[in-house]
Structure 1
Amino acid sequence: MEESLMVLIERWGVQEGQKASLLDMGEKEWAKVKAGARISDNSVAWDRAEKLIRIHKMILPLVGGDIDLATDWVGRINMGLGGRSALDIMLSDGGLGVDMVLAYLNRQFI
């Protein structure tokens, strides 16, 4: 999962200084993950990583399976998210923001 996560957050355009925060982990732990360490199972970071990957998978059907459009969607202003981008919400509001984006995407499938 770590490799997929690294590719995903890179494609989303998350700045280096924001990556640890997005995953709710410290800079030292992030440095270990970047160097190849695994994210601890049953940790907040593991839960967050799973949710981020789920967000990406939920976006894909909304954009016809186009990975580039799914990547762009995360950074694009979205009126359904109060005129903010999903990435902005996730970075600004942490775990609550990730949950808000997931809830928004869940509503798209109801």
Structure 2
Amino acid sequence: MVEIPVLPVLQKTIDETPIGNLTFLVTEFNKPFTTNGLGNKMRDWCDQASLFHCTTHGLRKAGATIAAENGATDEELMAIFGWTTKNQTTTYTKKARRKKMAAGAMHKLVPEQK
């Protein structure tokens, strides 16, 4: 198994949480969540936090967008999110590049004043 780096704030939380064998989010029955079960529980947690617009998938997309806008490459996004093809990453890197290029070119819409 490949071990990936963990953000310090997440590592601190993991270190302070009772965990099982590679599982640190468990159901009320102390069992690992299924994929669907975790998605449903995240929905509950987001609703409890009045974050009705958030979903597990949406939060993952937001993370990928933030990373791409901060300069993450396709390969880095693949490593962070466990994706296996660039088809999954280019949406984020293309949008980030387009946004950066647009910001750098906005001044070209207004003629120079002399």
> Under a length normalisation based on structure 2, what TM-score does the superposition of the two structures give?
0.27
Q: Larger RCO: Structure 1 or Structure 2 (Cα < 8 Å, ≥ 6 residues apart)?
A: 1
Which is richer in helix? 1
Q: Which has the larger radius of gyration?
A: 2
User: What TM-score results when the alignment is normalised by the length of structure 1?
Assistant: 0.28
